[in-house]
Amino acid sequence: MKRLNIKKVVTTALLIGLLLGLIPIVIWGGLTYYYNYYTLPIDELPPQRVAIVFGARVYPNGQLSGMLRDRVEMAVQLYEAGKVQKLIMSGDNRFEDYNEPDSMTKYAISRGVPAADIQPDYAGRRTYDTCYRAKAIFGVTSAVLVTQNFHLPRALFICRNLGIDAVGVSSDISRYSRRSLLWSEVREVFAQVLSVADVIRQPPAEVLGEPISLE
């Protein structure tokens, strides 16, 4: 019986582990490089009817986290500049005492955006769900995506592959803590791998419903 070459097995396992570990980094680098071309400053954005604002953490008192506040603030600036006519505030509301879209909407209204021009999306639990529902529920075929630089490539990748002609604008207005930004960027690397699987399979969003007109 042939003896098992332990050294060869260990070397092979290490090589496989290294290759698997490189896959998320390669995907992250490729998406970041390619979709950077679809990220524009406000003054270069073509006018769009809709801006999609992606949700993030809201504190128990309803206050927006720093990153989410910047996303909504950038959407307000787009609206004030006449770049968009409607804001879709998409976020998580799966728990009774947690409501991202309402908190986002209240902030935008406090900044002068009419409530009639804001459409909450209460089932944007993931980036994929937000993009899927934007087209399936709200009939969006083109939009400006509003989020931070680290998140834009994934959001653009998903929306454009679901049939939305999307461009992005960075909402990096404030300076975030190094710890918070590092955690978000590391998490994003692995989230992009999952987004590739989502785009390939294109499952329905976790929550759907009847179409809602933005008129």
pLDDT given for residue 13 in this prediction: 47
pTM, whole model, 2 decimals? 0.86
**Is the confidence at residue 1, as pLDDT, over 50?**
no
Q: Of 39, 22, 26, which is closest to residue 157 (Cα–Cα)?
A: 39
Beta strands across the sheet bearing 86-90: 118-121, 86-90, 50-54, 142-147, 165-170
Task: Say how far apart CA 113 and CA 116 lie, in whole Å.
Answer: 8
**pLDDT tens, position by position, 142-192:** 999 999 999 999 999 999 999 999 999 999 998 888 787 778 777 887 787
**pLDDT tens, position by position, 6-63:** 555 455 544 444 444 445 566 656 677 778 889 999 999 999 999 999 999 999 998 9
85 secondary structure, DSSP code? S
**Is the confidence at residue 92, as pLDDT, over 60?**
yes
Record the tokens describing residue 179, joined without a space.
Answer: 């710890």
First to last CA, the chain: 76
Fold of 38-201: Rossmann fold (3.40.50)
Task: Say how far apart CA 147 and CA 67 lie, in whole Å.
Answer: 8
Under the banding of pLDDT at 50, 70 and 90, the label for residue 87 is very high
Q: Of 73, 161, 67, 158, which is closest to residue 110 (Cα–Cα)?
A: 73
pLDDT given for residue 187 in this prediction: 81
Task: Give percent above pLDDT 70 in the chain.
Answer: 86
